[in-house]
Structure 1
Amino acid sequence: MADTTGTAFDIVVLGAGSGGYAAALRAAQLGKNVALIEADKVGGTCLHNGCIPTKALLHAAELADNARDGAHFGVHSTLERIDMAGVNQYKDTVIGGLYKGLQGLIKSRKITVVEGHGKLVGPNAVQVGDTTYTGEHIVLATGSYARSLPGLDIGGRVITSDQALTLDWVPKSAIILGGGVIGSEFASVWKSFGADVTIIEALPHLVPNEDVALSKAFERQFRKRGIAFNLGVRFQGVTQDDNGVHVSLEDGKTFDADVLLVAVGRGPRTSGVGYEDQGITLDRGFVITDEKLHTGVANIWAVGDIVPGLQLAHRGFAQGIFVAEQIAGLNPQPIVESGIPRVTYSHPEVASVGLTEAAAKEVHGEDAVEILEYNLAGNGKSKILDTQGFIKLVRKKDGPVVGVHMIGDRVGELIGEGQLIVNWEAYPEDVASLIHAHPTQNEALGEAHLALAGKPLHAHN
C-alpha cells in the first residue's frame, strides 16, 4: 500500500473540477489513496465560475420576468429595480453552501487536497512547488478557460463569462460575441434584467450544435423577446472608451454598447503543465485519449474539458467516475458521447440528447429515419406556465428512438427521461405504454411517443 502520510499515492488527480473531484471521490470510495491537486478551489469552473452561478442568475432573471409580467396571470406587481448586490449575494450564498458541502465530502473520504499549481514531471509524478507527488495512476483534469479570438484582448468593457458573473451593475446595452450556450444564457439574463442585447454569431444559427428545428424556434422566441442577433457574419474588431464599446463586423455593420461579452467557447487548460514533455499527444491543446480515456502514456488518464468533445460538467463528472472504476478493475462501460444530455438554461430552455435529424440521416440513411414533432400547446402544464415550444423525436424507422429534442420553459427537467429513452434504445411503443402524471410537462414526452407509436390522443395523425 502507498504511504498516505507522505507524497506517494495510488492515484494523483491534477485538477479538482467536476471530472477531477468525481474521480477522487469514487476512487477513495473504492479504497484507493488519493491526492487531489488544485490551484484554486475544489469544484472548479462549474461550481465557482460556470454552471452554478449562471443558473443562479437565470433564476433571478426568471423572477424578474414574473414580477414584470404578473398581470397576465392576474397577479399585479411591478419590478422596481434589479439589485445586483442582492443578486450576487444570493448567487454567492448558493455557491458557498455547495462548496462547503463538497469540502466536507472530500474530507470525509480522507482525500489529501494539495493547494497549488501542479505540473506533470514524470509518468507517475506531479510537482507542486518544491514537492513532488507520485501516483501509480495519474488523472489529468485541468479543465478549461474562457477563450477569446486572435487579436481580441480581454479587459475593461470587453469581458468573458468570468467577469460577467461578478458584475455589480446591469449594462444598459450589451453585445454578445457567440450565440452558443454561454452567449444565449447571458443574453437571456441581461434581457430579463432590462438590457438591450445583440448577439453576433458566425454560424448560420443560434445554439448551432442543436437540431436545426430547435435553433430556428429558439431564434423566433428570442426575436419575440426583443433580443437582436446577426447570424452568419464574422466579428471584425472592437474599440472601447469611457462611453462603451464600438464593435464592427466583416459585413460593414457597427454596433455600440456598454459591454462586449466574448462567448466564443472554452479552451483546454493544458499549457505549461508538462503534458507534452511526457509524450502526451495534444491536438489544438486537447488531450487525445482512447475510448477508455487513457492517454497512451504509462498509467496516465484524462477527463473533462481537456478531452475533445462536449464541454459539460456532467460529462466530466461521469468520465471521472468511469476512470476511477477502471483503475479499480471494475471494467465499466465506455461513455457514449451522443447519449450525454445537453441543456441551454435560457428563456426558453433547449434540451436534447442523442442524434439530431441531420446526424441520424447521416448515420442511418436519408430514408431510414422517422421524425415527429409534438407541440407543447397540447400540454396542459405548459399551457398553465404559458410557455411555447415542442418536443421533436428522431427515430430509426421501425427501430428505437435515437434523439429527443425539446424547447420550452423548464424542459431541461424532462431530459432525464429523454436520456433513458435514448440510452436504453427504447421503442416508441415502450414509452407509450408508460403512465405519465397529469398535468405535467413530462406528460408531453409520453404523448409524443404515443403519436410516434401510431396512436396519438392530443395530436393529429
Structure 2
Amino acid sequence: MTQTRETDVIVIGGGTGGYSTALRAAALGLDVVLAERDKVGGTCLHRGCIPSKAMLHAAELVDGIAEARERWGVKAVLESVDWPALVATRDDIVSRNHKGVAGHLAHAGVEVLHGSARLTGRRTAVVEGYGQVTARRGVVLATGSRPRTLPGLEPDGRRVVTSDDALFAPGLPRSVLVLGGGAIGVEYASFHRSMGADVTLVEAAERLVPLEDADVSRHLTRGLKKRGIDVRTGARLLESEVREGGVRATVRTARGEVRVVEAERLLVAVGRVPVTDGLGLEAAGLATDARGFVAPANPTRLETAVPGIHVVGDLLPPPSPGLAHASFAEGLLVAETLAGVPSPPVDYAAVPRVTYSSPQTAAVGLTEAEARARGIDVTVNTMPLTAVAKGMVHGQGGVVKVVSEREGRVLGVHLVGPNVSEMIAESQLIVGWDAEPSDVARHIHAHPTLSEAVGETFLTLAGRGLHQQ
C-alpha cells in the first residue's frame, strides 16, 4: 500500500553516512525518514570494513602460530582452517552489528523504509513500495559506491571477484592475483597470503598505496615481499582469460617484460565509483561531475547547488576520502546544519587513513611530498620501530615518520608496522590541533610500547632526543 508522507528530513541511503545523519538529526528533534534498498549499515558493515577486518583478525591468528613456532620456540602447528566456522564467526559479528544499527535507528525514532528511492523534486522523493515523501527541511543523498570493474573482466563471484564479494567466494583459493595496490588490494593480498595462498599483487602506479607517503609505500612493500607476496608495481594487465581452473593473465612489468600469471582467483581492486543510478538527480536540478560525484556547492555545509539537498559519503569528491569514519563526521555536520545547530566543517586534513594488512599502515595529514609541493619549509624525522624495545619484541620492522614545519606545527604523521591502526589516534589529535613537536615532547609515553617510538620521534624533533641519535 502506498502513501504520502511528510517529514523534516529524507535520507536516501542507510550506510555509514546515511544512518549517522539520521541518528544525529533525530537526536536534535527532527522527524527523519531513511530509505534503504538493502540493509542499513551499507557496504562497510555488510561487504567491506567489518567483515574484512574480522577475516584479517583471523589471518593475524594464523600468522601468530607461524611466528610462535619459527621465532619463539613454541612448537605450534596449524592443523587446518575450518572455513565454514571462520565464516560463521564473521557473519555473526556482522549480524550483531547490523542489529545494533537497526536498534539505534528504531530507538531514535527514525522511520526506515526498505526500498529504492528516487528524487522527484527538490524536496520530494518516491520510495518503492511506500509512495511519495516530502521533506520540510532537506534531503540527504548517501547512496554510496560500488567497485570499479575493468572491461572484459566481469565478476562472477567465483573466479573473478571484487572487494564486495571476495570474502564471500567459496572456500580458500590456493593462488590469487590481485589487481590494484591501494588499501583494499593490499589488505586482500595480505589476507590470502596469511591463509597460505600464493599471491601476486599488480599495481599500475610506481608504488603501492600511492596516495600515502613514499616511505610508507617502501616499508609496506618490503614487508609484503618478506612475507612471500610477489609485488609488481608499475605493471599493467594486458589481457586475461577465465578458465575452468582459474584465470590466466598477461602482465607487462615495469621493465617491459611480459609475464603470464595463472591463479585460481583474480581480485579486481581498482577503486570504487559513486552509485547514482536511478536516483533521479535531474528531477531535483542536479547532475554528477565528470567522475560521477555529486559535488557540493558549499563544502562547509556539504550542500549542493540546490538549497536543502546535501551529500555525504562516497558520493562526495575529494578531499572527502571515501572512508567510513569520514562519513560519520559528514553525517553529523549535515544533520546539525539541517537542525540549525552551529557545526564546524569536516577537517579532511585530520582524517586518519589506515591499511589493515600485515604490516599495517596508518597516516594522518600531509605526506612529505605534498608539504614540499606546497612550498612549505619542512623538517622530517624518521625512526624505525625496532629502535624501541617493544618493536624488537614484535620483530616485524616498521617506521614512524613525522613531517613538520620548520620551527612550526606538525603537518603529517606516517606509520608502518604491527598494530599501528591503534596508534594513529594520538597523531590525529596532534595534526588536528596544530601541535608543534615541542608540545608533544612534553608528554610521556608508556615504556615499553610501540607508541613510545612516536614519542621518541617528537623528542628528537624538539631537540631533546634520547634514544635516537
TM-score of the two chains, using structure 1 as the length reference: 0.96
Which residue in 2 is equivalent to 1:436? 445
Q: CA deviation at 1:332?
A: 1.2
Q: Which residue of 1 aligns with 2:119?
A: 120
Residue identity opposite 2:135 in structure 1: G
| Paired residues of 1:294 and 1:301 also in contact (CA < 8 A) | yes
Gaps of 5+ in 2: none
Following superposition, the deviation at residue 298 of structure 1 comes to: 2.8
- Shift in Å at residue 311 of structure 1? 1.3
* SS, match of residue 176 in structure 1: strand
Out of 97-106 and 143-152, give the one that drifted further: 143-152
Look up the match of 2:109: 110
Q: How big is the shift at 1:10?
A: 0.5
Aligned to 1:344: 355
Instruction: Give the SS at the match of 1:162.
Output: coil
Q: Is 1:268 paired with 2:274? A: yes
SS of residue in 2 equivalent to 1:280: coil
Structure 1 position 6, deviation (Å): 6.1
**Would you say 1:190 and 2:203 are equivalent positions?**
no
What does residue 179 of structure 1 align with? 181
Q: What residue is the counterpart of 1:43 in the other structure?
A: 41
- Could you state the TM-score of these two structures normalised by the residue count of structure 2? 0.95
CA distance in 1, matches of 2:161, 2:355: 21
| Cα drift, residue 278 of structure 1 | 2.1
Alignment match, 1:54:
52
Which residue number corresponds to residue 143 of structure 2? 142
Q: Does 1:288 align with 2:295?
A: yes
Read off the aligned partner of 1:339 and give its amino acid letter: A
Which residue identity does 1:288 align to in structure 2? A
Contact 1:364 1:396 in 2 (8 A): no
Amino acid at match of 1:163: D
What is the count of residue pairs matched by the alignment? 454
Counterpart of 2:423, as a letter, is L
Q: 2:6 aligns with which of 5, 8, 11?
A: 8
The one-letter amino acid of 2:434's match is E
- Aligned to 1:293, the other structure's residue is in SS state coil
Bigger shift: 354-363 or 279-288? 279-288
Does the CA-based 8 Å contact 2:47-2:165 persist in structure 1?
no
Kindly state the Cα deviation for residue 299 of structure 1 after the two structures are TM-superposed.
0.6
Letter in 2 for 1:435: I
* Alpha-carbon distance in 2 for matches of 1:249, 1:357: 31
Find the aligned partners of 1:458 and 1:38 in 2 and give their Cα distance.
54
In structure 1, give the amino acid aligned to 2:65: A
Structure 2: how far apart are the matches of 1:151 and 1:370?
A: 47
Task: Tell me the secondary structure at the aligned position of residue 120 of structure 2.
Answer: strand
Q: Which amino acid aligns with 1:452?
A: L
Give the Å deviation of 1:78: 0.4
- Deviations along 1:162-198, one digit per CA (max 9) or x if unpaired, are 2211123111000000010110000000000000000
Whether the aligned pair in 1 keeps the contact of 2:4 and 2:132 (CA below 8 Å) is no
For residue 249 of structure 1, the aligned residue among 248, 251, 254 is 251
CA distances 1:413-443 after superposition (whole Å, capped 9, x unpaired):
0111110000100000000001222222222
Cα distance in 2 for partners of 1:73, 1:320 equals 47
Question: Is this contact kept in 2: 1:281–1:295, CA < 8 A?
Answer: no
CA distance in 1, matches of 2:105, 2:250: 48
Task: Give the CA RMSD over aligned residues.
Answer: 1.3
Aligned to 1:132: 132
Distance (Å, rounded) in 1 between the aligned partners of 2:380 and 2:56:
32
Q: What is residue 316 of structure 1 aligned with on the other side?
A: 327
Alignment-derived partner of residue 154 in structure 1 = 155
Separation (CA, whole Å) in 2 of partners of 1:354 and 1:379: 24
Structure 2: distance between partners of 1:148 and 1:393 = 36
Shifted more, 421-430 versus 252-261: the winner is 252-261
Q: Distance in 2 between matches of 1:213 and 1:195?
A: 27
Give the Cα separation in 2 of the matches to 1:402 and 1:239. 46
Residue equivalent to 1:75: 74
- For residues 82-130 of structure 1, give each alpha carbon's deviation from its aligned partner in whole angstroms, at most 9, with x where no partner exists: 2211111111111111111111111110100000111111101111125
2:389 pairs with 1:387: no
Distance across 2 between alignment mates of 1:22 and 1:125: 21
Question: Contact (CA 8 Å) 2:122, 2:285: kept in 1 or not?
Answer: no
Say if 1:85 and 1:168, in contact at 8 Å, map to a contact too: no
Deviations 1:10-54 (A, max 9, x none): 000000000000000000000000001101000001110000001
Give the 5 Å matches for 1:436-455. Answer: 436-455=445-464
Secondary structure in 2 matching 1:364: coil
Shift of 1:351: 0.2
SS class of match (2:423): helix
Moved more, 349-358 or 126-135: 126-135
Partner of 2:28: 30
Amino acid at match of 1:260: L
Amino acid at match of 1:334: P
**SS of equivalent to 1:407:** strand
SS where residue 381 of structure 2 aligns? Answer: strand
Deviation at 1:373, TM superposition (A): 0.3
CA deviation vs aligned residue, 1:123-178 (integer Å, no higher than 9, x gap): 01111125011112100000010111234322241111122111231110000000
Inter-partner Cα distance in structure 2 for 1:150 and 1:295: 32
Residues in 2 aligned to 1:165 and 1:119: alpha-carbon distance in whole angstroms: 31
Is the CA contact (8 Å cut-off) linking 1:271 and 1:285 kept in structure 2?
no
Q: Find the aligned partners of 2:73 and 2:132 in 1 and give their Cα distance.
A: 65
Matched, 1:423 2:432: yes
Taking only the aligned residue pairs, the percentage that are identical comes to: 44
Distance in 1 separating the partners of 2:83 and 2:282: 43
Which amino acid counterpart does residue 330 of structure 1 have in structure 2?
A: V
Alignment of 1:288-307 (within 5 A): 288-289=295-296, 290-291=298-299, 292-307=301-316
